[in-house]
Structure 1
Amino acid sequence: MHFIGEYEVKVDDKGRVMVPVALRKQLPPDMQDRFVLHRGFENCVAMSPYAVFMKEAERIAKMNDKKKSVREYQRFFVDGAVEITLDSNGRMLIPKHLKEWAGLGREIVIATRLKKIEIWSKEKKQTPTAEDGDKFSDMAEDLFGDEDEDGDN
């Protein structure tokens, strides 16, 4: 399952956020209203369909917890995670501790990153600039420079 799109949305007076219909339609019908919100990388809020989160949690639970870094990652992954269900209008409430984690205000961006959905403060979300074009090209060369067009070496 992969997602596309970036959506600027406003938080209403009651703290609710409308999850865009275009994003919900990218999900199978049985995954369109039940999610887990949790801490994401670079101080965003990660939004995972419930089944996807549980699959990832199962994978992480199998890691060798004799390693300190594994235990720390497991804690970080689940600490503050909360299951949410969208209301009949497709809205959700983002818990206060996650709003504070991500510095969310009244204007937010729901951005997709292939298999991930991220919620960012509009002020913190970095939009690529013209100068980033060279950086993107350099990253592509570093990551995929040895592959042919089909992704093979």
Structure 2
Amino acid sequence: MFLGEYQHTIDTKGRLIIPARLREGLGDRFIITKGLDSCLFVYPPDEWSNIEQKMRSLPSTRADTRAFVRFFFAGASECEFDKQGRILIPSNLREYAGLEKDVMVLGVSSRVEIWSVERWKQYSSESASSVEEIAEKIVDFDIGI
């Protein structure tokens, strides 16, 4: 499980240090892709495989399904760590997420998310006021909060 919030910088070559606690769960090779809310999602291989299986079961006859599957898979890239614990984020993904210098690396249960600091602050600020309302909506899922 991935937990925590870490602020880091991305260098001019697009390399980012991933905190050691998060690196352990990702393994040697992992997948990075466009996420929702204009951030990047990073998955260990087993979780990526689970997502892939679920996506395959979606009806490909629906235009919205095809659009989402394209969005999610076409931009995906397999990555690995260098000796310093950095990853090279492909330029198309850096552009999508607005990653320039300061970034937030978040542990979010089954994945890691990478955000520009500006977008993360804006998202956090906007969502903070509705967290209780969201919790009320998902209480039906009996998550034990």
For 1:74, which of 66, 69, 72 is the aligned residue? Answer: 69
Aligned equivalent of 2:17: 18
User: Within the alignment, does 1:47 sit opposite 2:42 as a pair?
Assistant: yes
Structure 1 residues 84 and 143, CA gap change in structure 2 (3 angstroms): same
Over the residues paired in the alignment, what is the CA RMSD in angstroms? 2.4
Query: Structure 2-normalised TM-score?
Result: 0.85
Is 2:47–2:110's contact at 8 Å kept on the other side of the alignment?
no
Structure 1 residues 146 and 79, CA gap change in structure 2 (3 angstroms): closer
SS at match of 2:59: coil
Residues of 2 paired with 1:37 and 1:98: CA distance? 8
Higher Cα radius of gyration: 1
Unpaired runs of at least 5, structure 2: none
Residues of 1 paired with 2:66 and 2:124: CA distance? 34
Paired residues for 1:31-110 under 5 Å: 31-110=26-105
Higher RCO, Cα 8 Å, sep 6+: 2
Unpaired runs of at least 5, structure 1: none
Which deviates further from its counterpart, 32-41 or 119-128? 119-128
Percent identity over the alignment is 29
What is the letter of the counterpart of residue 47 of structure 1? V
Residues of 1 paired with 2:3 and 2:117: CA distance? 18
SS at match of 2:136: helix
Moved over 6 A (4+): none
Once the two structures are TM-superposed, the CA of residue 15 in structure 1 deviates from its matched residue by 2.5
Residues of 1 paired with 2:53 and 2:76: CA distance? 15
Answer 1 or 2: which has greater helix percent: 2
Aligned residues: 143
Query: Structure 1-normalised TM-score?
Result: 0.81
Residues of 1 paired with 2:77 and 2:141: CA distance? 41
Residues of 1 paired with 2:118 and 2:110: CA distance? 23
SS at match of 1:123: helix
